[in-house]
């Protein structure tokens, strides 16, 4: 497992804050298989706008499964370079990502960090003062919704990436939106509509 922490002071008490845990491929950027070259990163048109809506209310994390590392399709260095590109381009658009968490394992390895295991959200809660009960997970796979459930957060499913393919697998009560911008608007509305529980 690999986490890239933000540059924050250690050992200082911070108030508990809500966060958004974002899937990478198919949610923020186009899913183009095992990405090796940052030049092949293509953001969805609404990604920067969506995250700018969220930045004042939520910490933002990227949580991504990259089994291609264990399969030998990409290296950890490839994954880091692509993630660095994603974070840098978001920073240039005015959006800060607190940390990027990567699981490089195959599901058959039975690791603790692969989604939907809630290892990384819990790590963020400890390291960055995240209140998981007021947080959200966003992604294009049913595992992203299950991640939210196991972490005690709320899940939002986007129909970009593999979202349409797996839509029929979702529980009937799932929150489903066309893409990341609609997800951002939904989260803001949800946080505002239930302030006692989620703000």
Both tokens assigned to 169? 């697998």
pLDDT digits (tens, 9 = 90+) for 17-33: 999 999 999 999 999 99
Both tokens assigned to 148? 């939210």
pLDDT at 3 over 80: no
Domains and CATH numbers, the chain: 16-194 (3.40.50.1000)
58/134 Cα distance (integer angstroms): 9
Q: What is the DSSP string of 116-183?
A: TS-HHHHHHHHHH-B-GGG-EEEESSHHHHHHHHHHTSEEEEESTTTHHHHGGGS-TT-EEESSHHHH
Global pTM value: 0.90
Both tokens assigned to 194? 């239930």
pLDDT digits (tens, 9 = 90+) for 114-130: 999 999 999 999 999 99
Catalytic residue annotation: 23, 25
């Amino acid at each position: 497992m690999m986490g890239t922490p933000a540059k924050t002071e250690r050992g200082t008490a911070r108030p508990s804050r809500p966060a958004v845990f974002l899937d990478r491929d198919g949610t923020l950027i186009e899913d183009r298989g095992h990405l090796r070259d940052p030049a092949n990163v293509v953001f969805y048109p609404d990604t920067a706008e969506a995250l700018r809506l969220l930045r004042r209310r939520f910490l933002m994390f990227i949580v991504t499964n990259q089994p291609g590392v264990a399969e030998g399709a990409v290296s950890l260095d490839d994954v880091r370079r692509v993630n660095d590109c994603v974070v840098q381009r978001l920073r240039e658009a005015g959006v800060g990502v607190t940390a990027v968490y990567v699981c490089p394992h195959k599901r058959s390895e039975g690791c603790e960090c692969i989604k939907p295991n809630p290892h990384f959200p819990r790590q963020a809660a400890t390291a960055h003062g995240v209140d998981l009960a007021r947080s959200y997970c966003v992604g294009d796979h049913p595992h992203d919704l299950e991640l939210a459930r196991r972490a005690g957060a709320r899940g939002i499913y986007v129909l970009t990436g593999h979202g349409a393919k797996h839509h029929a697998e979702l529980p009937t009560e799932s929150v489903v939106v066309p893409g990341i911008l609609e997800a951002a608007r939904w989260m803001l509305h949800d946080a505002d509509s239930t302030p006692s529980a989620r703000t």
